[in-house]
Amino acid sequence: MLPSLKTLFSLMTTLLIFGILFTTLISDVRPAPPPVPFPPALKIPSPPKGCKGCSDVRPSAPPVPLPPALKIPSSDVRPAPPPVPLPPALNIPSSDVRPAPPPVPLPPALKIPSRGPLIEKVMARYSQTWKKQEENSTKFRDLLRSTCHGFTKAVVSQDNTPLGAQIVYGGEKRKQTVTSAFFNTFAKRNPFSNKTWDTCSVVGNGGILSNSTCGEMIDSAQFVIRCNLPPVENSFLKDVGNKTNLVTANPSLLIQKFRGLQERRRPFMESMRRYNDSLMLLPAFSYSRDTAVSLRVLYTMEDFESPIRPVFLNPEYLLNLRSFWRSKGLKKRLSSGLMMASLALELCTNVHLYGFWPFDQHPLLQQPLNNHYYDNVPSTKVHAMPAEFDHLLRLHEQGVLKIHLGECRPSSR
């Protein structure tokens, strides 16, 4: 049966639509680019005929030519700037020119100084094994007692200096009549009262006591004598101890440190507490100026009710002592240390000296020493310290007394 017209029409319409769509698709497709041709194979020329053993030789590439130099129009070329001139040398007037300081020299290598010949001789004598010589000790003690009379006359007392007596000053030509006012200031009796102690420490103030650890040994003596109000507390205790039975006080020191007690007296009294109830020995009759200072010390002690007992050094004893040592060759004024060592030799069976060393170098450690263990103030030149030490060293050699140098050990006493 033939298709109807309606069906044919629909079929043609469908074909027409498909044709339009197909045409559209074909028109939007871009043609593919042509293929890039490969470069032709490199042809290597064959070796010339007759070349035996030649291999294929590739010709070297031709050199790449350098680009031509850049040509800049002369109108565009700028000249180089002129060089900057150096500033002229600074002219300084010769008067203002200071010479360069000399170079600081490097410190020399630390050298431990060797002991001088004098100290070598001293130590050769000292280094001998020490032993107490009873016979020598007794003879020297008896000699001092018979010529100096320290037992009975070292201190001015109402026993040995009665009312109305004449006191002759030791350092000047002057006499003082003992009035009742003076008499009442004297000790009522001899403080030593003819008794002796078994062991005595006489403590000088030499720098050799620093780091000596002698404090305990010094304090172990029955009677301890110190010179010129030295410090004994705090950091000094380990080296010098603090026990004090007798201490000397030089009036010049009292004037220097406490203005002779003419102003405030409390600082002086606070400083004296370190000596507890000791005897304070004052040379009241060496010079007239010393009398007034010594009396002010005594009155101050009484006013403040101090346990310290001021006593006056007897100028008659000093005169005897000076004559004794002058006969041994000592011409200068005696030091407090030698006076107290001499007194101790009368009062004590065994005398030990500490801090007696008149040189500025340690005899054992070979290091410099301060003048005192508490400061480095130089001593006055009125005393012959090395000469005095020489005499004490002789007594050490003879076993009469013992000098302690260096560090103290329990066995060194």
- Burial zone of 270 (CB within 10 Å; 0-12 exposed, 13-18 middle, 19+ buried): exposed
CA angle 240, 208, 396 (to 5 degrees): 90
Dist CA 154 CA 21 (whole Å): 154
Q: Which two tokens stand for residue 92?
A: 């300084």
Cβ within 8 Å of residue 237, ≥6 positions away: 215
Active site (annotated) includes residue 383: yes
Q: Taking each helix axis from N to C terminus, what angle separates 336-347 and 385-397, rounded to the nearest 10 degrees?
A: 20
Q: Which two tokens stand for residue 168?
A: 């002759």
Candidates 372, 383, 396, 404; catalytic one: 383
Q: Any bridge partners for residue 280, and if so which?
A: 247, 310
Cβ within 8 Å of residue 358, ≥6 positions away: 206, 385, 386, 388, 389
Dist CA 385 CA 108 (whole Å): 33
What backbone torsions phi and psi does residue 213 show, to the nearest 5 degrees?
Answer: 50, 40
Active site residues: 383
